[in-house]
Amino acid sequence: MVDGMRIGLVSFGVAEFAALHETCVEAGHDPVVYAHSRSMRPRTAMDAGGADGVSRITAALPAGTDLLLPGSSEGLGASLHGYGLDLLICYGFSWRLPRSVLGIPRYGVVNVHCSMLPKYRGPAPVLWAIRNGDPYLGVTIHRMDEQFDTGPVLAQQDGIPIPDEVTPENLWTGLSPVLRGLVAVALDRAPDPSAGEPQATHGVSHAGLMEPEFAIVDAARTAREVHNQVRTFQFMGKHLGPVATVAGRPLKILRTSLTPIDGPRIDCADSPVWITASEPVQPNG
């Protein structure tokens, strides 16, 4: 174990930054800089709602810790050079980091990925776990290389329950303590260049962003598939849902039930799914 490492943290939300920061401090290390990926792709404008996220992160920023808002991976690398980092920890960074950035910290870069790698490599592992109806979520801490989520595993744990009415808040309740424990293990292992187990070559799957067609309910799918489609949107945000035509009018489907209730339903390939919350689709979409 190496004491007193200078650490950079790359993440996307107040709770996520806080979990990483507190775990590092409890282990005797010094998080000196945060970086926030303000857009899904480098060299593009800030995502919708991004300014609000930056405002909340800034308000919670610990005293003496800098915040970087890079516009590109190259800009991130140029900024990090001056911090003398021993380690960089990423949890939810949207851009692929080139070798020039990966080589800046003394002990490299480690990534927090919400799946049991090599399952669900890619930017949206939680969405695909919900979409596929997985009962549990896993977390993997791995060394970052130039590919997406392929590096050696430093720590890994499965078994975090995914609630039926899953939201970022209720999932975080189970995820946070597991994440903190695994990051603590990875902090101990990361300075040893030989530490880390290669990922399995079987069971590889990919978790890309949802395709545009996923925003439309297809009644040819099973009731469970449609229910999980609605759950996926529910996780992505309030008042988000796929669109279905019900009784001749388009509705945004916010919540559904597989148990019969009074009210509208969608007749799917195998059985109905009942609509428990919906909104009319506005003319502008």
Do 98 and 216 sit in the same domain of this protein? no
**pLDDT averaged over every residue in the chain:** 93
pLDDT-derived band at 285, boundaries 50, 70, 90: low
Do 38 and 116 sit in the same domain of this protein? yes
Total residues belonging to the chain:
285
Residue 196 lies in a domain: no
In the DSSP assignment, the letter for residue 185 is H
- Residue 143 main-chain phi, psi, to 5 deg: -70, 140
Do 11 and 55 sit in the same domain of this protein? yes
Place of tokens 């080589």: 103
Strand-pair partners of 153 = 142, 197
pLDDT-derived band at 1, boundaries 50, 70, 90: low
Residue 69 lies in a domain: yes
Do 15 and 53 contact (CB within 8 A), yes or no?
no
Task: Return the number of other C-beta atoms located less than 10 Å from residue 151's C-beta.
Answer: 24
**Looking at 42-152, which runs of residues are DSSP E strands?**
66-68, 87-90, 109-113, 136-143
Give per-residue pLDDT as tens, 85-112.
999 999 988 788 888 899 999 999 999 9
Do 139 and 15 sit in the same domain of this protein? yes
- The mean pLDDT of 65-85, rounded to a whole number, is 92
Please give the Cα distance from 56 to 222 (Å, whole number).
Answer: 40
Do 141 and 218 sit in the same domain of this protein? no
Alpha-carbon separation of residue 284 from 151, 171, 280, 281 (angstroms):
44, 32, 11, 8
pLDDT at 51: 81
User: CATH no. for residue 268?
Assistant: 3.10.25.10
Q: Could you give the percent of the chain with pLDDT greater than 70?
A: 99
pLDDT at 257: 96
Domain boundary among 158, 189, 220: 189
Give per-residue pLDDT as tens, 177-207.
999 999 999 999 999 999 999 999 999 999 9
- The mean pLDDT of 142-171, rounded to a whole number, is 96
User: CATH no. for residue 114?
Assistant: 3.40.50.170
Residue 202 lies in a domain: no
Do 225 and 271 contact (CB within 8 A), yes or no?
no
The model carries a pTM of: 0.94
Do 216 and 176 sit in the same domain of this protein? no
Residue 86 lies in a domain: yes
Of 254, 255, 258, residue with least CA distance to 270: 258
Do 181 and 222 sit in the same domain of this protein? no
Query: Domain residues for 179?
Result: 6-189
Residue 207 lies in a domain: no
Do 180 and 257 sit in the same domain of this protein? no
Residue 275 lies in a domain: yes
Do 140 and 249 sit in the same domain of this protein? no
Do 117 and 252 sit in the same domain of this protein? no
Identify which has the larger pLDDT, 256 or 238: 256
Do 172 and 102 sit in the same domain of this protein? yes
- The mean pLDDT of 214-230, rounded to a whole number, is 97
H/E stretch holding 272 reads: strand 272-280
Residue 200 lies in a domain: no
Do 67 and 176 sit in the same domain of this protein? yes
Q: How many domains does the chain have?
A: 2
